[in-house]
């Protein structure tokens, strides 16, 4: 990814989130939704020209302090704030330390120590380790003969995922927003870029989700599946992050309720 491309991504992100804000004086007729650049500049205590150049993808170098004011004015969530700093190529003072992708043998062994379905995702959301319970649950993804272990390709491209995941459309949209948070931390990563390009090309839904610029932190909660053999199953999902490798995720599915 070139610097110009990353600046364009930053500009698109700022424009999208500016358009979501409610004007201070609602009811005023506008040609476009959200705040005007002048209103955002006033709220952030920044220059209109500077914000215009940022949105246009020009080669400007925002300071950490300016980005912090812009994040506050845009009313960004924690995940969205992290994406703003990542795309600007700056270190957020609230950010956690950098990390590496190498997975130790002890880390790879964790899923097998659990009785409930569990799997380990790397930064591209490809399963690197999983236990038998997870393989039995995720038909078509963690099977012994499955050709691909990437979670996003499975959810958006594999027909089995649509049948297995209850409320598939909603879950898929949320996954795309959660992955964007990780993508913005490594916008120059070739593997992540290739994955996004493939999904945008092969999945209309993913392309729509990606264009919306939604960003969410990965959260747990109830997950329901419609298993071809075991029927409808309920679990409570928890995602654990490795302290020194925050993009590595251990996902656990504790037994919940099954359909009567």
State yes or no: pLDDT of 260 exceeds 70.
no
Query: Two tokens at 233?
Result: 């199953």
What is the per-residue pLDDT for 227?
Answer: 96
The residue that leads in pLDDT, 33 or 79, is: 79
* Contact (CB, 8 A) for 161 and 142: no
Task: Please provide residue 13's backbone torsions phi and psi, each rounded to the nearest 5 degrees.
Answer: -65, -45
Q: What is the pLDDT of residues 45-99, one digit of tens each?
A: 999 999 999 999 999 988 999 999 999 999 999 889 989 999 999 988 876 544 4
Q: What is the mean pLDDT of the chain?
A: 90
Q: What is the pLDDT of residues 238-251, one digit of tens each?
A: 999 887 787 899 99
Q: What is the mean pLDDT of residues 99-128?
A: 90
Q: What is the mean pLDDT of residues 25-52?
A: 84
State yes or no: pLDDT of 27 exceeds 70.
no
Report, in angstroms and rounded to the nearest whole number, the Rg of the chain calculated over CA atoms: 20
What is the per-residue pLDDT for 131?
Answer: 97
Cα–chain center distance at 65: 25
State yes or no: pLDDT of 29 exceeds 70.
no
Query: Two tokens at 67?
Result: 């980005």
What is the per-residue pLDDT for 101?
Answer: 58
Query: Two tokens at 136?
Result: 């039995």
Q: What is the mean pLDDT of residues 228-233?
A: 95
Strand partners, 165: 225
Least confident interval from 124-128, 166-170, 194-198, 214-218: 214-218
- Measured between alpha carbons, how far is residue 110 from residues 145, 150, 164, 246, 248 in Å? 22, 19, 25, 16, 12
CA distance 107 to 62: 38
CA distance 161 to 1: 31
Q: What is the mean pLDDT of residues 196-216?
A: 97
Least confident interval from 87-91, 100-104, 116-120, 220-224: 100-104
Give me the percent of the chain exceeding a pLDDT of 90: 75
Q: What is the mean pLDDT of residues 176-189?
A: 91
Q: What is the mean pLDDT of residues 167-182?
A: 96
> Of 38, 3, 5, 36, nearest to 19 (Cα)?
36
State yes or no: pLDDT of 256 exceeds 90.
no
State yes or no: pLDDT of 234 exceeds 60.
yes
């Amino acid at each position: 990814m070139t610097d110009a491309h990353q600046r364009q991504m930053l500009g698109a992100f700022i424009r999208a989130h500016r358009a979501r804000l409610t004007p201070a004086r609602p009811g005023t007729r506008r040609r476009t939704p959200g705040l005007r650049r002048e209103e955002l500049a006033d709220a952030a205590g920044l220059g209109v020209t500077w914000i215009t150049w940022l949105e246009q993808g020009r080669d400007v170098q925002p300071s950490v302090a300016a980005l912090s004011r812009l994040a506050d004015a845009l009313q960004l969530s924690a995940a969205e704030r992290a994406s703003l700093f990542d795309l600007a190529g700056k270190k957020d003072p609230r950010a956690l330390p950098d990390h590496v992708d190498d997975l130790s043998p002890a880390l790879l062994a964790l899923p097998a120590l659990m009785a409930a379905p569990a799997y380990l995702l790397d930064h591209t959301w490809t399963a690197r380790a999983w236990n038998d319970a997870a393989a039995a649950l995720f038909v078509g993804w963690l099977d012994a003969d499955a050709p691909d272990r990437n979670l996003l390709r499975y959810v958006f491209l594999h027909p089995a995922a649509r049948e297995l995941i209850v409320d598939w459309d909603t879950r898929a949209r949320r996954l795309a927003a959660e992955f964007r948070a990780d993508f913005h931390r490594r916008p120059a990563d070739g593997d992540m870029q290739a994955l996004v390009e493939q999904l945008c090309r092969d999945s209309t839904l993913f392309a729509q989700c990606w264009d919306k610029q939604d960003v969410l932190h990965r959260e747990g909660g109830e997950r329901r599946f419609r298993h071809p053999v075991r029927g409808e199953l309920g679990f409570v999902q928890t995602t654990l992050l490795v302290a020194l490798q925050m993009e590595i995720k251990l996902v656990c599915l504790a037994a919940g309720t099954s359909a009567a």
